[in-house]
Amino acid sequence: MHLFNPRSVVAQSIMPSYEWLFEFKENPAKNDVVVSMPPQFLNGRTGKVVATKKALQLLAYIKSLKQAALPDGEKPFEFLYEKEENTVDLVSAGGKSEVDGKALYSANCQSCHQENGEGLKGAFPPLKGSAIVNGDNLELYVDIIMNGYDAHPEYGVMAAVGTNMEFDENIVAAIINYERTSWGNTGKKVTTQEISKIMDFVKLKAASK
């Protein structure tokens, strides 16, 4: 369903079109998110429909939610929230198996930070060249993955992806190592042992808030 105009899916819908979440641009920028719209719903206007920062923030928030328990005790549609199969994919490296960091990134991070690690301007920060990704503050890095982040007003709030998806130290280490060795990043690779110790502290920190 397009937030811009749900009637593009169901003609009889009385749901508002939320046009204030989108704008028209004749020449969208490279990082703009263009929404495909049938011509009959453009009302004669020209250009491309582009999602605003508020639309992208709303989408990120909705994606972070999970279905609450239903009043009659019936289980919600749990299949909507199952972990991607590739979050536990293993690859052979040096005679041993490791969690596939690229697959994990693709399943859990790429929709916001993009395949190229450059994020989306005004919505999601870049990981390419990030001081946090390449830096030595592993506690902050792990805390962001597990508990989310809201330190920059120019970007949307990051949900607690790691906690919501029940990441363990193997998954977190694999994601960090993939991000630190991609897009020209030069951060030092980490071990699961390092991350395990930090995760215990981060969980206690989150619980005390």
One-letter amino acid of 9:
V
pLDDT tens sequence for the chain (209 residues): 344 443 444 455 556 667 888 888 988 888 888 877 767 677 778 888 888 888 888 877 776 666 666 676 666 555 444 544 444 454 444 444 468 899 899 888 988 899 999 988 878 899 999 999 999 999 999 999 998 888 777 787 888 888 888 899 999 999 999 999 999 999 999 999 999 999 988 877 767 76
Q: What is the pTM of this model?
A: 0.58
Which pLDDT belongs to residue 87? Answer: 40
Which pLDDT belongs to residue 22? Answer: 86
* Distance (Å, whole) CA 204 – CA 209: 9
Please list, in sequence order, all residues whose beta carbon lies within 8 angstroms of the beta carbon of residue 115, skipping any fewer than 6 positions away: 106
